[in-house]
Amino acid sequence: MMHRIASLLVILAAPSVLLAGTNGILEGYVKERGTGEALPGVNVVVVDAGLGASTDQKGYYNIQNVRAGRYHVRFSIIGYQSQLIRNVVINPDLRTRLNIELDPASVELEEITVVQEKPLIQRDVTGTTFIVSSEELEALPIDDVAQVLGLQAGATLEGNVRGGKSSEVVYLVDGLPVQDVVAGGQASTLPKSSVVGVSIFTGGFEAEYGNALSGVVNIVTKTGSNEHHAMGRVDSDNLFGGTETSKTTDIEVSASGPIIEEKMFYVAAANGFLTDTRWWQDFDEFFDSPLDKSVSGFGKIDYYFTPTLRLGAQILYSARDWQPYEFIWRFNLTGLPAESRASNRIAAIVSHTVSDRFFYTASLSRYWLDSEIADGSKNDVPVDDPYEYDFFLRYIIDGQRAWWSRTTQESYTARGDATFRAADEHLLKLGGEATFFNLNSDLVKLEPQKTYFGKPLLDEPQLDFNTTYSYEPRTYALYVSDKIDLPSEGILINVGFRYDVLNPRASRPNIEAIPTTDSSYLFVPAETVEASVKQQLSPRLGAAMQVTERGYLFVNLGWYFQYPLFQYLYSGVDRVSIATGLSALTGNPDLEPERTKSIEISLRYELTENLVGSATYFKKETTNQVDSKTFVEGDSKESGTYGFAEFVNNPYAEAEGLELILSRERGAWVTGELSYTLMRAQGLSGNASDGFFLAQYGLPPAIRIYPLSWDQTHTIKLTSALLMPWDMRLNFLVHWHSGRPYTRYPTETGFQPVPDAGPFQPNNERMPSFTNVDVRIAQVFRFGWTPSSLIMLYLDVRNLFDEQNVSWIDSNGRIGGELQDPSGYFIGRRTSLGVQIEL
């Protein structure tokens, strides 16, 4: 461990190191009202942050390295009436421009207070970006912060962005990743009360963001202030019983404030989520409540040596224990092994504003993730005793699933960035990152062979996915970018380059196929070949041009890089695994990273004082996607090899679409966003195991692109907030999309297709359309003795109209398949009542 820390400290000592997306810049001009003349020497102070600057001879001021959040900003100079601007929003990675006019005053007058409205169009964001504030997060009917991604145009509810896989999105907390690098996806959750805002990049993200092909979700946490604040809330969907419940209880508490006024501040939050899931009626026969338990916690301390030098330390903890459910196991649920996941991250962050032209940040962090399947020892797994089906091969009535796993991921990351204003027109950022991983996995997994239609082949040997490995890969990245602002010409240009490196630090075994009969082979590992270091230079270019007084044209072109999930590199190739025989699906440490080329063109226009319309066309092509290839010709299940296959690079995917958005971000009584997305998402493979399983079923791999399973041709979303009389608030989400594809390939026996089924074509039919409405109504009661204290009662209704939205259809066109599995439909209506207290 010490050698890793020492190496990372050396990297931190470099001139600049990457830390993405937690700070912004406040800038603007101060002039005299009436004459329009520049006012030099005006004192500009970000009151809550203790940062400030003075205007120059042109009346220009620039305050760098302001932590993302909401602030009060004071403008004052002798001879002029002071102004206090409230509610100034600083967004991460962005410049907030605040221009002010001051009134001359021969005598001292009372300070003027103004509430600031954020600009309708952020012109220095040349890619598609959505910013969600903490107030919006609190009001939305969502359970987890990351769910806001699914509310945006171009994204599915499951987290697919612009036709990409959900694993192509990277999740960050304060610019540091919280990813499952083995299996993919977000690995940690945060209490909503610890978040100040979320930046969501669905296209054209800049060079400081890497290892993502489709999108970036950057969650920025709160910082304490000189005022103490405490919050507690609880809600439940089971107060009145009935069947429209998942027996869910959600509890959250948080506190923030000063430890030493003006010097040291804290934030602490914790959230507990207990549920019996939608399947509680089946679970009641086997287990005690609750069946699914999640907890997350966040703690943070910031110490200000000076107003411009801050040291922060934070800890993030997240854990979940749950009992899985499958309808086919409903009479033998104890045969499904329990699962758990726990993660934590500790990080230290230094942020220093050296001058009004230069600031930097740097961090050192350790992230740990542990995933487990089944209790006890792996020696207890019934590898030679497959579970039993009923007479009709429909339900599993006895035995245990032969799964057991212990996987740990540990990573040490050094990151940071330096921002330098080289001239009034240039804002330079440069930096780098290094991550050292320690990955360990011990997996026992045996599965019965099945037909394409799901029927088990009881006389065939089980598929063996066992693996044990331990590897220490490393990744590195450098980037440089320049934001060139030419306001007199109405042009802004973002240009950047990112250089990524992946060192797998592993060897790939050469496999020799030795024929034993005409239809079977013996696969023997021969010598090993060292996996090569993978690298890519990724240019990013964006431009914003003012085409009318109220309209801007944005263009963005970028190349993106993402290294494969480590399970695709290492499963089954460790010498321990090979010594016990080849796994059915073997990793490949020499896989190339996946690469995407993307372009988008957007027009944004201020239709009225509060209303903005935008139209965005995008197109992206992804190559080197990971799939699996069997090394036996024809029907591999007949070869006697049990379907040996290896992960390979070859599939290709493309997506193209148009996003139309009408947004009202400010207004007296209603705000919201209405979006329509027209999109086509096609590829040669839906996931990395497609090739393997198609070969197992004796089916040919796709030779031409087809609609991917998350392809939504038409999507309409409405997110709206209404502020009603007596401090009542109504928020609702409306989501509709046209039917997604599924594969129709009928069978009568469950073993063979019907004679006239025709050639196999993936995703050749469409499911019905999807409609969902979620509503949250809140009534606020304020205490007269302090305006910041309140009690809020709220009602949260998901799937308000109890729509039966189809989740999946089998190859015969039956919703939920032969068994009419209820999971063939998404969950029905759920209603929660809750109370929140803030002090």
CA 720 to mean position of chain CA atoms: 23
512 found inside a domain? no
Amino acid letter, 425: E
pLDDT tens-place string over residues 604-620: 999 988 899 999 999 99
- pLDDT score at 642: 42
β-bridge mates for residue 779, sequence order: 728, 793
Please give the average per-residue pLDDT across 377-395, as a whole number. 87
709 found inside a domain? no
pLDDT tens-place string over residues 172-197: 998 888 999 998 888 999 999 999 88
- pLDDT score at 19: 42
Is the bond leading into 290 cis (omega within 30 degrees of zero)?
A: yes
Closest CA to 227 of 256, 196, 187: 256
State the pairing for strand pair 100-102/23-32.
Answer: parallel
* pLDDT reading at 641 higher than 80: no
SS3 (DSSP) at 136? helix
Q: Cβ–Cβ contacts within 10 Å for residue 199, how many? A: 25
* pLDDT reading at 578 higher than 80: no
Closest CA to 652 of 627, 628, 630: 627
18 found inside a domain? yes
358 found inside a domain? no
- pLDDT score at 777: 96
430 found inside a domain? no
Joined together, the tokens standing for residue 400 give 């245990």
What percentage of the chain reaches a pLDDT higher than 90?
Answer: 54
SS3 (DSSP) at 112? strand
559 found inside a domain? no
Residue 465 to residue 643: CA distance in whole angstroms: 11
Please give the average per-residue pLDDT across 275-288, as a whole number. 94
Distances (CA, A) of 160 to 129, 170, 194, 198, 711: 16, 11, 25, 17, 9
Q: Report which DSSP code applies to 374.
A: S
Residue 262 to residue 285: CA distance in whole angstroms: 57
Question: How many domains, the chain?
Answer: 1
Quickly list DSSP for 500-541. EEEE---EEEEEEEEESSSS-EEEEEEEEEEPPPEEEEEEEE
- pLDDT score at 22: 72
List Cβ neighbours of 148 (8 Å cut-off, separation of 6 or more): 130, 132, 137, 140, 142, 198, 200
Q: Are 571 and 557 in contact (CB under 8 A)?
A: no
- pLDDT score at 610: 86
* pLDDT reading at 633 higher than 50: no
SS3 (DSSP) at 280? helix
- pLDDT score at 211: 92
- pLDDT score at 718: 96
* pLDDT reading at 30 higher than 70: yes
* pLDDT reading at 523 higher than 60: no
- pLDDT score at 119: 64
Q: What is the CATH number of the domain that holds 42?
A: 2.60.40.1120
Beta-sheet strand order (sheet of 128-133): 128-133, 195-203, 215-221, 169-173, 176-177
Of 66 and 349, the one with more pLDDT = 349
* pLDDT reading at 753 higher than 60: yes
β-bridge mates for residue 718, sequence order: 674, 734
Of 592 and 93, the one with more pLDDT = 592
Q: Are 61 and 53 in contact (CB under 8 A)?
A: yes
Please give the average per-residue pLDDT across 416-431, as a whole number. 87
Q: Identify the residue whose tokens are 């027109």.
A: 425
Joined together, the tokens standing for residue 290 give 């609750």
pLDDT tens-place string over residues 734-744: 999 999 999 99
Residue 362 to residue 110: CA distance in whole angstroms: 42
SS (H, E, C) 746-763: CECCCCCECCCCCCCCCC
Mean pLDDT of the chain: 87
- pLDDT score at 17: 32
* pLDDT reading at 500 higher than 60: yes
Q: Report which DSSP code applies to 284.
A: T
Q: Which residues of 587-614 are buried (b: 16+ CB within 10 A; e: fewer)?
A: bbbbbbbbbbebbbebebbbeeebebbb
Joined together, the tokens standing for residue 104 give 């001359």
Of 56 and 329, the one with more pLDDT = 329
* pLDDT reading at 570 higher than 80: yes
β-bridge mates for residue 523, sequence order: 513
- pLDDT score at 37: 86
List Cβ neighbours of 329 (8 Å cut-off, separation of 6 or more): 335, 336, 395, 396, 401
Q: How would residue 252 be classed by pLDDT, with cut points 50, 70 and 90? A: very high
Quickly list DSSP for 678-722. EEEEEES-SSTTHHHHHHHTT-PPPSS-EE-TT--SEEEEEEEEE
Of 564-573, 613-622, 626-635, where does mean pLDDT reach its minimum?
A: 626-635
Q: Which domain holds residue 81?
A: 2-115
* pLDDT reading at 16 higher than 50: no
- pLDDT score at 2: 42
Amino acid letter, 72: H
Residue 266 to residue 312: CA distance in whole angstroms: 10
Q: Cβ–Cβ contacts within 10 Å for residue 398, how many? A: 12
- pLDDT score at 637: 39
Q: How would residue 634 be classed by pLDDT, with cut points 50, 70 and 90? A: very low
Q: Are 577 and 567 in contact (CB under 8 A)?
A: no
* pLDDT reading at 9 higher than 60: no
- pLDDT score at 575: 62
- pLDDT score at 488: 75
What percentage of the chain reaches a pLDDT higher than 70?
Answer: 90
Q: How would residue 522 be classed by pLDDT, with cut points 50, 70 and 90? A: low
Q: How would residue 628 be classed by pLDDT, with cut points 50, 70 and 90? A: confident
36 found inside a domain? yes
Residue 216 to residue 201: CA distance in whole angstroms: 5
Q: How would residue 307 be classed by pLDDT, with cut points 50, 70 and 90? A: confident
pLDDT tens-place string over residues 89-143: 887 777 788 888 888 876 566 666 655 566 666 767 788 888 888 888 888 999 8
Residue 176 to residue 349: CA distance in whole angstroms: 11
Residue 799 to residue 782: CA distance in whole angstroms: 30
Q: How would residue 636 be classed by pLDDT, with cut points 50, 70 and 90? A: very low
Joined together, the tokens standing for residue 89 give 């929003």
Residue 529 to residue 589: CA distance in whole angstroms: 10
Of 143 and 519, the one with more pLDDT = 143
* pLDDT reading at 406 higher than 90: yes
- pLDDT score at 518: 53
* pLDDT reading at 514 higher than 60: no
Amino acid letter, 286: F
Q: Which residues of 417-440 are buried (b: 16+ CB within 10 A; e: fewer)?
A: bbbbbeeeeebbbbbbbbbbbbbb
Quickly list DSSP for 67-101. ESEEEEEEEE-TTB--EEEEEEEE-TT-EEE--EE
Write down the pTM of the prediction.
0.88
